[in-house]
C-alpha cells in the first residue's frame, strides 16, 4: 500500500478506524486457542492450510506459536499478533498465552483490544484460568463473544453449558448458532437468526476449510431427523428465555453471543469471523492517564503493550508492539517518547503475522504495529505527536517465585548482562539486584515458575549465555524504602533488593514472617505491590 499524503491519510482516520476489529482470544490451557487462531486465518484465506502444533508429519506448526518451547510443548507461552483483511474489515487478532504462569502477558494484551473471544472446551466448561481472564475483561469493559469449542468430541450438554456460562459469569448467553448432534457427533449448526441449517463436511485432518452446505429447515429435518428436531426444540427453549442477541446489551457487557465450533476441524470458524466483523466494536477514544479521552482523529498516539526479541534468529532484533489509539501512523514519522520527551524515529515498522512480517506504510487506530530495534521502548510507554499525551501505565504483577541466575561461562558475561536486560525490558521477569549478590548473580522474580524455563531457554538460545538457576524460598515481595531498608534487611529470613526501576523490594519467606515484622515494627514501610486481579 503506497503512502498517501499526510492530509489525505488524516482524512481517512475515522472511516479506516471503523473498519478495524481488534480482539484477543482467551481461554484455559489446551482449550484450542492457537488452533482457533490458525483456523481463523485459514478462513480469511491468508494461509493455505492449517497445522496443529502436534499435527501429522509434514504439517507445519501453528502460525502464532513460533518459539521452540511452544512447538515442543504444544502451548502458547507468548502472545502473538496476526493482522489480515476479511470482507471489508481489517482484523487485528492477538493470540494470548493460556497458561496461568503467563497471566501478566495476557493482561497486557487485554489492554490493547476492543473485544475478546472466550474459548470454552465443550467437555470441561468454564475453567479457572478462563474465569480469571473473563474477570479482567469485565473490569476493563471488554465485550465478550463465547465459542464452545471441540464439539466434535464427547462433552457436556449444550443447555447445561449455557447455564454454566450464565451462573458463573453473570452474562446472559445469546446463542447465534446451536449444534445439531450431541457433543462428539457434530453434524452442523442451526442458525437461530434465520432458522437455516449449516451442514459441515469433515476434511482430512482439518487442514483445509470444511465445506459448508446451507439447507432449509424442511431439508434439514429430512436429512438429520431426530437430531434436527432436538436442536429446534432446544432453540425454542432459548426463545422462551429471551436468549436473543441485543447489540446494546452485548456492548454494555450484559450478554455474550455464543457460537458452537470445532476449531481443529474448521467447523463454525467462518461464522465466528462473520460475527466478529458484524458485532465486535471498532476502536473508540481512549482515556489518558488524567482521564481525558484521546479521540480517534486527534494527532497520532499509541502505547507499547509488548516487547519481544528473538523472532528473527538471523538478526537478533527487538520488536515493540504498539496499539495505535489515535491519528494516522506513517512509517518513518518521528514521534515523541512520553517518558523521556525524546524523539523516536519509526523507520522500521512492520505488520506482524505470527513470526512473519511485512513493512507497513500506513496504519490507523486499532491497528497493532511492530517497531523494529526499538531498544528505547519498554512495556507501557506512550508515543505521540503534537499535543502531549500519556496513557495509564500497565500493571506490574506481584511476583511469587524467585531464583538466582548465574552464567555458566564467565567469559560470556557481556552476553549474560545483555540477555538479563532484555528479559527485564520485555517483562518476562523482574530483575532484582543487591550489592551482596553482585551483578553476576541477579535475582529473577516471576509470577509463575514456567517463566524461569523460558528465561533459561532464551538466555542460552538467543544470547549464547548458558545459565543455571537456584530457586529461593521466598514467596512474597513487598515495597519498602531507603529509610526502612536497613532494619527490614536485618530481620531474620528477609532480603532487600533493588528492582531495575529503582524500587526497593523486601522478600519474605511467607506472609506470617511479613505480618510478624509489621506488628513488631509498624513504623517500617512495607507496602503491597500493585497487582491485577488475575
> What is the structure's pLDDT at 58?
36
Predicted pLDDT of residue 283:
97
139 is in an annotated binding site: no
CB 525 within 8 A of CB 484: yes
Q: Is the pLDDT of residue 355 over 70?
A: no
Mean pLDDT of 345-355: 74
What per-residue confidence (pLDDT) applies to 64?
A: 40
Q: Which residues are 371's β-sheet partners? A: 320, 349
Q: Is 480 annotated as a binding residue?
A: no
pLDDT at 534 over 80: no
Tens-place pLDDT, residues 81-126: 788 889 999 999 887 765 565 667 778 888 999 999 999 999 999 9
Helix locations, 49-186, DSSP H: 68-73, 103-110, 128-140, 158-169
Q: Give which of 16, 7, 123 is closest to 363, Cα–Cα.
A: 16
Count of C-beta atoms within a 10 Å radius of residue 79: 23
Residue 316 has which C-alpha cell?
537478533
Cα separation values, 218 from 177, 215, 224, 237, Å: 18, 8, 10, 20
Residue 295's SS3 state is coil
Q: Give Cα separations from 416 to 156, 384, 447, 471, 500 (angstroms).
A: 50, 34, 22, 18, 16
Distance separating alpha carbons of residues 208 and 265, to the nearest angstrom: 8
- Calculate mean pLDDT across residues 304-328: 77
- The predicted pLDDT at position 176 comes to 97
CA gap 340, 380 in Å, rounded: 13
pLDDT tier at 76 (50, 70, 90 boundaries)?
Answer: very low
What is the CB neighbour count within 10 angstroms for residue 50?
28
Neighbours of 184 (CB within 10 A): 13
Residue 78: is its pLDDT beyond 90?
A: no
Distances (CA, A) of 380 to 92, 94, 363: 19, 17, 20
Tens-place pLDDT, residues 167-185: 999 999 999 999 999 999 9
Alpha-carbon gap, residue 127 to 124, rounded angstroms: 7
Q: For residue 390, what pLDDT is reported?
A: 95
CA atoms within 13 A on the CB side of 295: 5
Name the helix (H) or strand (E) containing 152. none
Secondary structure tally for the chain: helices H, strands E = 15, 31
Our CA angle for 279, 284, 286, nearest 5°, is 140
Task: Identify the band that residue 510 occupies on the pLDDT scale cut at 50, 70 and 90.
Answer: very high
Q: What is the pLDDT of residues 41-65, one digit of tens each?
A: 777 766 554 443 333 333 344 444 4
- At 532 the pLDDT is 42
Tens digits of per-residue pLDDT, 371-425?
987 888 888 899 999 989 999 988 767 888 999 999 999 899 999 998 998 888 7
pLDDT band at 280 (very low <50, low <70, confident <90, very high): very high
User: Please, what is the angle between helix 128-140 and helix 103-110, to 10°?
Assistant: 30
> Is the pLDDT assigned to residue 9 strictly greater than 70?
no
For the ranges 153-157, 266-270, 381-385, 528-532, which has the lowest average pLDDT? 528-532
- pTM over 0.85? The answer is no
pLDDT at 67 over 80: no
Position 35 pLDDT exceeds 50:
yes
Q: CA distances (Å), 481 to each of 76, 180, 395, 474, 503, in order?
A: 37, 62, 20, 19, 8
To the question of whether residue 97 is assigned a binding role by annotation, the answer is yes
List of domains in the chain: 23-79+89-102+114-279 (3.40.50.300), 286-384 (2.40.30.10), 401-528 (3.30.70.3280)
Average pLDDT over the chain, rounded to an integer: 85
HEC string for 91-121: EEEEECCCCHHHHHHHHHHHCCCCEEEEEEE
pLDDT category of residue 131 using cuts at 50, 70 and 90 = confident
User: So what's the pLDDT on residue 211?
Assistant: 78
Q: Is 95 annotated as a binding residue?
A: yes
Place 158 in a pLDDT band, splitting at 50, 70 and 90: very high
The string of pLDDT tens digits covering residues 184-235 is: 999 999 999 999 999 988 776 666 677 789 999 999 999 999 999 999 999 9
Q: At residue 37, does pLDDT exceed 90?
A: no
Q: What's the pLDDT tens digit per position in 451-492?
A: 898 889 889 988 899 999 999 999 999 999 999 999 999 999
* CA–CA distance, 96 with 105 (Å, rounded to integer): 8
How far CA 299 is from CA of 12, 50, 211, 383, 387, in Å, comes to 13, 39, 45, 11, 7
Q: How far apart are CA 122 and CA 141, in angstroms?
A: 26
CB 288, CB 294: distance < 8 Å? yes
H/E element, 492: none
Res 57: pLDDT? 34
Of 150, 202, 148, which Cα lies nearest the Cα of 176? 148
* pLDDT for 375: 81
Cα dihedral 64, 91, 374, 381 sign: negative
Q: Is 96 annotated as a binding residue?
A: yes
Cell of 408: 555458566
Amino acid at each position: 500500500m503506497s503512502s498517501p499524503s499526510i492530509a489525505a491519510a488524516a482524512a481517512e482516520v475515522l472511516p479506516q478506524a471503523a473498519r478495524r476489529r481488534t480482539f484477543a482470544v482467551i481461554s484455559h490451557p489446551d482449550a484450542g486457542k492457537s488452533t482457533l487462531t490458525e483456523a481463523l486465518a485459514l478462513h480469511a484465506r491468508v494461509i493455505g492450510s492449517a497445522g496443529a502444533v502436534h499435527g501429522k508429519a509434514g504439517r507445519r506448526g501453528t502460525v502464532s506459536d513460533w518459539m521452540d518451547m511452544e512447538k515442543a510443548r504444544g502451548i502458547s507461552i507468548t502472545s502473538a499478533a496476526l493482522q489480515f483483511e476479511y470482507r471489508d474489515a481489517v482484523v487485528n487478532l492477538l493470540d494470548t498465552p493460556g497458561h496461568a504462569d503467563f497471566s501478566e502477558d495476557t493482561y497486557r494484551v487485554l489492554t490493547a483490544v476492543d473485544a475478546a473471544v472466550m474459548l470454552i472446551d465443550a467437555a470441561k466448561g468454564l475453567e479457572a484460568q478462563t474465569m480469571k481472564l473473563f474477570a479482567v475483561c469485565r473490569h476493563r469493559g471488554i465485550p465478550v463473544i463465547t465459542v464452545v469449542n471441540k464439539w466434535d468430541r464427547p462433552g457436556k450438554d449444550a443447555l447445561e453449558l449455557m447455564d454454566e456460562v450464565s451462573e458463573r459469569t453473570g452474562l446472559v448467553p445469546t446463542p447465534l448458532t446451536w449444534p445439531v448432534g450431541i457433543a462428539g457427533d457434530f453434524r452442523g449448526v442451526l442458525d437461530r437468526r434465520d432458522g437455516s441449517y449449516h451442514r459441515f463436511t469433515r476434511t482430512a485432518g482439518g487442514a483445509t476449510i470444511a465445506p459448508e452446505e446451507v439447507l432449509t429447515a424442511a431439508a434439514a429435518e429430512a436429512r438429520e431427523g431426530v437430531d434436527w428436531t432436538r436442536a429446534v426444540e432446544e432453540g425454542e427453549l432459548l426463545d422462551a428465555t429471551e436468549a436473543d442477541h441485543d447489540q446494546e446489551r452485548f456492548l454494555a457487557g450484559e450478554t455474550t453471543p455464543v457460537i458452537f465450533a470445532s476449531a481443529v476441524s474448521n467447523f463454525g470458524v467462518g461464522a465466528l469471523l462473520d460475527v466478529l466483523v458484524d458485532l465486535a466494536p471498532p476502536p473508540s477514544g481512549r482515556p489518558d492517564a488524567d482521564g481525558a479521552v484521546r479521540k480517534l482523529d486527534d494527532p497520532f498516539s499509541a502505547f507499547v503493550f509488548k516487547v519481544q526479541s528473538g523472532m528473527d534468529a538471523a538478526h537478533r532484533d527487538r520488536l515493540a508492539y504498539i496499539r495505535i489509539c489515535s491519528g494516522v501512523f506513517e512509517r518513518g514519522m518521528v514521534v515523541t517518547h512520553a517518558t523521556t520527551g525524546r524523539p523516536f524515529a519509526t523507520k522500521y515498522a512492520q505488520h506482524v503475522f505470527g513470526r512473519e512480517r511485512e513493512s507497513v506504510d500506513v496504519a490507523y487506530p486499532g491497528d497493532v504495529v511492530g517497531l523494529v530495534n526499538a531498544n528505547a521502548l519498554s512495556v507501557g510507554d506512550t508515543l505521540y505527536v503534537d499535543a502531549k499525551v500519556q496513557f495509564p501505565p500497565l500493571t506490574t504483577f506481584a511476583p511469587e517465585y524467585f531464583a538466582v541466575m548465574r552464567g555458566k561461562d564467565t567469559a560470556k558475561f557481556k552476553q549474560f548482562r545483555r540477555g538479563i536486560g532484555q528479559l527485564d525490558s520485555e517483562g518476562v521477569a523482574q530483575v532484582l539486584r543487591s550489592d551482596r549478590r553482585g551483578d553476576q548473580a541477579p535475582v529473577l522474580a516471576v509470577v509463575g515458575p514456567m517463566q524461569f524455563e523460558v528465561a533459561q531457554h532464551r538466555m542460552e538460545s538467543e544470547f549464547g549465555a548458558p545459565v543455571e538457576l537456584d530457586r529461593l524460598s521466598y514467596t512474597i515481595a513487598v515495597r519498602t524504602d531507603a529509610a526502612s531498608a536497613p532494619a527490614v534487611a536485618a530481620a531474620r529470613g528477609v532480603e532487600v533488593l533493588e528492582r531495575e526501576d529503582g524500587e526497593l523490594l523486601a522478600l519474605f519467606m511467607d506472609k506470617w514472617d511479613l505480618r510478624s515484622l509489621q506488628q513488631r515494627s509498624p513504623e517500617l514501610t512495607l507496602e503491597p505491590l500493585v497487582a491485577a486481579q488475575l
